[in-house]
Structure 1
Amino acid sequence: MSLWKRLLDLAGNAFHLAAPDVGPTDPCSPDPGDMEFAAAVVALAAKMARADGKSTLDEAAAFRAAFPISPDERPMFDKLFALAQETVHGYEGYARRIGKRYVAKPCLLEDVLDVLFAFAAADGAITDGELAYLNRVSDLFGFTETEFARLSAPYFPDRAPDPYTMLSVSIQASDEDIRRAWTRSVAENHPDKFIARGAPVEFIKAAHEKTAAINAAYEQIKSSRKQKGRPANTQESGRASSESSRSYQNAPAGS
């Protein structure tokens, strides 16, 4: 098996190409056989480890956790990782190609950013250099600054974005539209969805953090509107809570 075929298989583990219940038309999967995608993801992750001018063993370990390999393949894989991370230069070309190729699959591009965020946070903190790197990759993927703020929020709970931004709704949105945005966001990011796909632990952890941030944003909007004399529709909110509690264990109580 060639090195590039190995990389494709490893990328498939992280992005559920081989999940039995996910077909080739899944909107969040890369195209079958896309070895350039696999190589680009490896390069982006490895180069990000140099974004702050240094690399740590924790980041390398997180990389291997998301791309599980057998013990006999580890030396070759570590060599590839080390080669890619010798310099941060060149990452923009990889990000630009992925963003252009999968412009119609933003959820896949979000998955890639989730992987990169998980690696950056592996040593306990995301540095300014790493954040700038991630912001630039996000830009090359075609995401706006507002969207990047939403995507990065789970990793910076002390500076979460506006709750309306977190739910991707306007401040003028109706209570019902906000409720729908909340349930949709929880459904898209719930950990159970990633567990079913066989996603690596980094994805599942990120899903928990995202779901918590989404729920917190929804509760904040409801509380704010109630204080301003614009209470959420209690009948709809109660129904949403009942529906979500059956389907999503992480949905906020009393919603």
Structure 2
Amino acid sequence: MSFWRKIAGLAVRLPDAADCPDCPPGLPGEDPAFSTAVTALGAKLARADGHAGNAEFDAFSDVFQSDEASRPNIRRLYNLARQTTRGFESYARRLARRYRNCPQILEDVLDGLFHIACSDGAVTDEELAYLERVAELFGFSELVFRRLKATHLGAGADDPYAVLGAPHDATDDQLRAAWKIALIENHPDRARSRGLPQEFIEVAEAKAKAINAAFEAAMRERREMALVGAV
């Protein structure tokens, strides 16, 4: 039986049994508590920008697939949840408690929520704030959230990780290695050794400066986050 059929019969009547200290056995889709939480989070995300249209529900169905028979009941539950964003933090906390030993499952949920947010062609500031808060409640670091955000929305041109060509959750050693490789590839001396005109050398110098600045910014950000986490 699809977990959507289970949730249709259980979720709107029973409280979530979401205080289990370990991940439940079996697939998440077979867990009514999981199904309840992801339906509510998806529906309330659709409401975050003030307009919950059919595009969001279609995107929700694409990610958390339901069979044709249970689709009407899922839509009913979805419509109930999307009337307000209130309560989304409670669902996120319960899901985080239930699957705290399964971070990949939580990341899959957040990936799905990003897909829903992108479904109407634009992610609003309200939706982005909602996603960031869910990520925080799931226990993800800011760097993990930025990686997921970059995956779905692209990295900003001023993102130091984009400049270095490194993922946001790279280790310090990996980040340092990416910095060295980028610096070697764009060092002004390479342009000089090839006999390129002064204009090319100046471009290489600017790139090298940007690479060094990006590495310093990324490492400074990591130090600041470590200090905040130690408080």
Report if TM-score (shorter chain) is over 0.5.
yes
Which moved further from structure 2: 101-110 or 155-164?
155-164
Q: Report the AA paired with residue 109 of structure 2.
A: V
In 2: Cα distance, 1:25 partner to 1:225 partner: 49
- Show CA shifts across 1:54-89 (max 9, x none): 112111111122233344433222111111100000
- Aligned match for 1:115, one of 65, 88, 112: 112
* Aligned equivalent of 2:144: 147
- Is the Cα contact below 8 Å between 1:92 and 1:140 reproduced in 2? yes
The 3-state SS of whatever aligns with 1:159 is coil
Residue 97 of structure 2 is aligned to residue 100 of structure 1: yes
Q: Paired residue for 1:222, among 162, 181, 185?
A: 181
Query: Contact 1:50/1:88 (CA < 8 Å) preserved in 2?
Result: yes
CA contact 2:6–2:32 (8 Å) conserved in 1 = no
In the alignment, the residues of structure 2 paired with residue 93 and residue 4 of structure 1 have an alpha-carbon distance, to the nearest angstrom, of 21
Displacement, 1:174? 6.1
- Higher gyration radius (CA): 2
The range that moved more, 78-87 or 60-69, is 60-69
Identity among equivalent pairs (%): 41
Q: Distance in 1 between matches of 2:136 and 2:57?
A: 25
1:171 CA drift (Å): 5.7
Distance (whole Å) between structure 1 residues aligned to residue 138 and residue 6 of structure 2: 25
Cα separation, 1, equivalents of 2:185 and 2:46 = 45
CA contact (8 A) 2:89 2:134 kept: yes
- Which segments of 5 or more consecutive residues in structure 1 lack a partner in the other structure? 9-23, 179-219, 232-255
Mapping of residues 121-132 of structure 1, within 5 Å: 121-132=118-129
Map 1:1-40 to 2 at 5 A: 5-7=5-7, 30=28, 33-40=30-37
Which amino acid letter does the alignment assign opposite residue 137 of structure 2?
A: L
* Residues 84 and 228 of structure 1: CA distance in aligned 2, closer, same or farther (over 3 Å): same
Q: How does 1:1-255 map to 2 (within 5 A)?
A: 5-7=5-7, 30=28, 33-159=30-156, 161=159, 162=161, 163-170=165-172, 175=177, 222-228=181-187
RMSD: 3.3
Deviates more, 1:59-68 or 1:120-129: 59-68
Residues 1:3 and 1:115: Cα distance change in structure 2 (over 3 Å): closer
TM-score (norm 2): 0.62
CA distance in 1, matches of 2:168, 2:145: 10
Residue 169 of structure 1 aligns to which amino acid in structure 2? Answer: T
Judge conservation of contact 1:164–1:170 (CA < 8 Å) in 2.
no
Give the TM-score of the pair, scaled to structure 1. Answer: 0.57
- CA deviations 1:139-164 (Å, max 9, x no partner) are 00001112211111112225174144
Alpha carbons 1:102, 1:108 under 8 Å: kept: yes
